[in-house]
Chains A and B, each alone.
Chain A
Amino acid sequence: MSELQQEPTAVQGEGRYVLGDPIADTRAPDSPIADRWSDRKFSARLVNPANRRKMSVIVVGTGLAGAAAAATLGEAGYHVKSFCYQDSPRRAHSIAAQGGINAAKNYRYDGDSIHRLFYDTVKGGDFRSRESNVHRLAEVSLNIIDQCVAQGVPFAREYSGLLDTRSFGGTQVSRTFYARGQTGQQLLLGAYQALERQVHAGTVEVHPRTEMLDLIVVDGKARGIVTRNLFTGQLDTHLADVVILCSGGYGNVYYLSTNAKGSNVTAAWRAHKRGALFANPCYTQIHPTCIPVSGEYQSKLTLMSESLRNDGRVWVPKERGDDRDPNDIPEDERDYYLERQYPAFGNLVPRDIASRAAKNMCDAEHGVGPSGLGVYLDFKDAIARLGRPAVEAKYGNLFEMYERITGDDPYETPMRIYPAIHYTMGGLWVDYDLRSTIPGLFVGGEANFSDHGANRLGASALMQGLSDGYFVLPTTVADYLADAPFDEVPEDHPAVQEAVESTRARIDKLLSANGHRTVDSFHRELGQLVWDQCGMARSKEGLEKALDRIPSLREEFWRDVKIVGTGDGFNQSLEKAGRVADFMELAELMCIDALHREESCGGHFRVESQTEDGEAQRDDENFAYVAAWEYAGDNQRPVLHKEDLEFSYVHPTQRSYK
C-alpha cells in the first residue's frame, strides 16, 4: 500500500484525480500508545517567557477550539490576534451544541476508562481515524472537565453537589457531561470569558466581524492572513509568526444543515489553495432527528436532541403514500421499521444507520408530511407508560421548541423528523501536532480532519475542540515558535501584495457579474445537488452526475450571480457570495473523494458496497487510509496523497447492530 503508485488505474473516477506520494504523520512518538502524549509534551521545545511577547500568533475562529487556543496562548504571554466573522466571539457556532461533552472520568464507576473511550472512538469512527490522536483525546478529556468546572461552566449536578453524567449516542457507559440542552453554549462562554480576560490583560486582540479571505505564505511558511472588515469592507493584512485555523466545519455546502448560517469553508479552502492538504472531504455526518423541511423558503434545519430516541418510537405507515392523520392510522398499519430491522438496538441504532433507514423508507414512498420527507417519532407509548409529567420533565423544552417551529403539539400528534447534515469529519490534514502541510499553519477543531475517522460519536466534537484548543495547540505551537521570531515580513512583500490583490480581484469579479440570480438560489441548487448525490447514500452514477454538473454550475455562478451594493461597506450578500464560491469548489472535491472511496464506512455509504442485508461494507484491504488531497491549480485534477492507517491497539471489526 505504501509504495508509490503512479496512475489511478482501475479506480473508480479514473481520470478525475492524480495519485501523489504517500504522506505520514511524523510527529507521533514511537512509544507505547499510552505514553505518546506525555513523551511528545516532554520533547516539545519551550519558549522563554520573556521572549513570548515578541512572538505573534493569529487564531482564526472563536469557537471552542479557537477561543480556547487564543486564551491559553494569551495566558502564556504570546501576542495573539483572534478573528471571527460574528459581531462577538461569543457567538461562534459551537454555541449551538446541545447534547454534551464526553470525558473518561469514570465518576459513575461503570467501567469507563481512558482506554475505553479511546476504543469506542476508534470503533465509532469505523476504523478510519488515527490511534495516536484518539488516545490523546481520551487522555486530555479529563483535564477538559477540570478546566471548565474551574471556569464556572455550570454542568448538571446531582443533589450531592457532584457532577452528573448521562449516556449518549448509544455508549454503554455514562460519560457525557452536560449543561441542560445547552452544553456548547456554556462551554463556549467559558472559553469566551477566558478570552476576554486575556483581552483585558492585553495579550489578545479580538477582531470580530472580520473575515479571513486568504492565507499569506512567505518562503513556504504561513505568515499571515488577508481579512475583510465586514463593517467597512476594508481589506487588511495581518502578519504573524504562526497562523492557527479553527474556523469550523463545512456542512453548509449542503445549504440546508444544522450549522449556523454563516458557517463556511472559506478559511480552510483558501489555505488548501495555498498548499495545505484537505483530508477526507466526503466524510460528513447526518443526524437522524431534525425537524423536516417545510417549504422552499426553508433556510436552516433544526436538530432535535438524539436523546428523544430513548423514549420515542420511530414509524411510518405501512401503506405507501398514506396521508391520513397519524392518530387515525391503526397500530397494525404502522411499520416500526427500526425495531423490526434492528431488534437488538431498535430505535437506538447509531446515527448513520437511523438516518439511512429513514431515507430508505421515504425513498420507498412511506414518508410522511407535506413533502413526503419525514418519519414519525411517536411518544404516545412513552406517555402511556411514564405519564405525561415524566415525559414533560424529560423532554419538555424539546417539545416546546418543536411546537414553536412547527406549530404541532408533540404530546398530541407524533413529531415528524428527518435526517440532516450536522457535522463534517473531513477537513485540513494535520499531523499529530495539528500542523498542516504548510509550515506555520496549524488547524484545530472541526476545521481539521480531526480524530473522528469516518463517523463522529455524539458528544465528541466539543471534547476534540477543547482538547485541541486548551491543551494540544498551546504545546505544539510553542514547540514551533521555539525557532521564532522569524524574519519580519514587510507589508510590501510580493507575497503579501499578491494575496491582497487576488482577494480584491475576486471581490471585484463577484460584484461586477451583475447577473440575474441571487446568491441563495445558487447555494440552494448546489446544496440540493450535493445532498442528492453525496448525501446519505452515494453511488458511482450519482457522483459522476454531480461532477458533471458542478463545474457548469460554478461557471454559471460567476457569470450570472447578482450582488447589489459595493464592497466598501457592510454587504451581507457579498459575504455570502464569497462563501458560496468556495463551497462550489469544495463540492467538487467532496464528490471526487466520495467517488474514489469505493467502500462504505461511517458516514460515507456507497450503495455499491453493502452487505447482503444492506449494511455498510468496509474495505480495509484497499481503503484503510486517510485521503489527503492536494490542490493542483484551477481546473487541474487534484492530487491524492494517502496516509496509511495502522491499528495496533484496536482491531478492525465489522459494526453490527442487528
Chain B
Amino acid sequence: MKLTLRIWRQASPEAKGKMQKYVLDDVEPDMSFLEMLDVLNEKLVIDGKDPVSFDHDCREGICGSCGMVINGNAHGPQQYTTTCQLHMRHFDDGDTIDIEPWRAKAFPVVKDLVVDRSALDEIIKSGGYISVNTGSAPEAHAIPVDKVSADDAFDAATCIGCGACVAACPNGSSMLFTAAKVTHLGLLPQGQPERQTRAINMLARQDELDFGGCTNVGACHEVCPKGIPLASIAQLNHDVLGATLTGARSD
C-alpha cells in the first residue's frame, strides 16, 4: 500500500507548527496505525531527520496514551477504537491521511502529536475519588450493590482518560470525561456521601481550566473509544442541579 501522510510537525510548545508531507510506499494492511508511524520514523532516523513524536504505551487500547486526529476524526475512522488498535486495512492504497494532535487550549502541544493532558488529572484531583483511607475499609460484602447500578457504574468507569472527547467536542469541553467519573462513583453506594460535592467540585475545576462548557452536542460520545454513554452527562447535570437546589456545600 502506498500512502501520503500529512502530519502536524511542531518542534516545541512555543514553535509554530505546520503540516508536513511524507510518502510511505510499503505499508501492510496488517500493520497497526502506530506501527505504520514506527516504520516512517525508522526511515526518518536513518535519513537523519527528526522522527515524529506521538504518545503511546500499552498499544492495547487501555492506557489512553495514544490519540491523534486522523482525517478530522479523533482516533480515526473506526468506532470504539483507539488509535493504537486501528489497523491499516481500514485505509486504501493511494490514500492521503491527515494526522493532527488533539486541539484544545487545555491540552497544549508538547511536540508534534504529543499534547499535555495533565488538566484531566487536575479534574480528578478536585474530587474524582471516594475518600477512604487504606485500612479503614469495611468488609467487602457489607456493601451490596445492585447489579444494574454496578453495571452502569462500570460502563462509566471504563473511561481511559484519552481526551478524545475534548478533541472532538466543538466546545472543547471535557464534560464526558468528568461525567464518566461522577457517574461511576455516584451510582455506587460507596460514593453517596460525597456525591454532590464531588459533582460540583469537579465541574468547578473543569470550568476553571481552559475547557469549554458542554452544550449537549454529543460528538464526544461518538469518538469515545469506550463508548461512554452520553447519559452520564445527564447524571452529572442531575447531581450538580441537585446539589445546587439542596444547598450542598463545596470547598
Contact = CB atoms under 8 A, between A and B. Distances in A.
Contacts of A641: none
A405 interface: yes
A67 to B, nearest CB: 11
Contact of A295 (B31, B49, B118): B31
A520 B60 contact: no
B110 to A, nearest CB: 6
B53 interface: yes
Contact of B32 (A163, A206, A299, A520): A299
Most interface-central of B153, B157, B184 (chain A CB within 10 A): B157
A172 interface: no
A200 B251 CA distance: 12
Interface in B134-189: 134-141, 143-147, 150, 153-154, 157-158, 160-161, 184-185, 188
Given A157-B145, A299-B34, A194 B57 contact: no
A180 B51 contact: no
Contacts of B34: 299
B138 A146 contact: yes
A474 B135 CA distance: 11
B59 interface: yes
A565 B49 CA distance: 8
Contacts of A95: 58, 62-63, 160
B59 A261 contact: yes
B117 interface: yes
A399 interface: no
A93 interface: yes
B210 interface: no
Chain B binding surface, main DSSP class? loop
Nearest to A150: B137
A151 interface: yes
Interface in A66-102: 68, 71-72, 75, 86-91, 93, 95-96
Interface in A181-209: 182, 185-186, 189, 192-194, 196-197, 199-200, 206, 208
A96 B44 contact: no
A356 interface: no
Interface stretch (B69-77, B125-133, B215-223, B230-238): B125-133
Contacts of A295: 28, 30-31
B39 interface: yes
B13 to A, nearest CB: 8
Contacts of B139: 146
A231 interface: yes
B9 interface: no
Given A145-B140, A147-B137, A518-B46, A569 B12 contact: yes
B138 A150 contact: yes
B213 interface: no
Given A87-B65, A87-B116, A151 B132 contact: yes
A196 B121 contact: yes
A193 B59 contact: no
A149 B150 CA distance: 11
A617 B166 CA distance: 56
B134 A405 contact: no
A333 to B, nearest CB: 28
Contacts of B137: 143, 146-147, 149-151
A106 B12 CA distance: 55
A283 B48 CA distance: 39
A200 B194 CA distance: 15
Contact of B55 (A87, A192, A520): A87
26 contacts: A86-B63, A87-B55, A87-B117, A91-B57, A91-B58, A149-B137, A151-B129, A152-B188, A156-B150, A157-B145, A161-B145, A163-B140, A179-B157, A182-B158, A189-B157, A194-B132, A197-B131, A260-B59, A294-B30, A297-B39, A302-B59, A407-B29, A565-B50, A570-B12, A572-B51, A572-B53
Interface of A: 68, 71-72, 75, 86-91, 93, 95-96, 105, 107, 143, 145-152, 154, 156-163, 179-180, 182, 185-186, 189, 192-194, 196-197, 199-200, 206, 208, 231, 260-262, 294-295, 297-300, 302-303, 401, 404-407, 470-471, 474, 516, 518, 520-521, 562-565, 569-570, 572-573
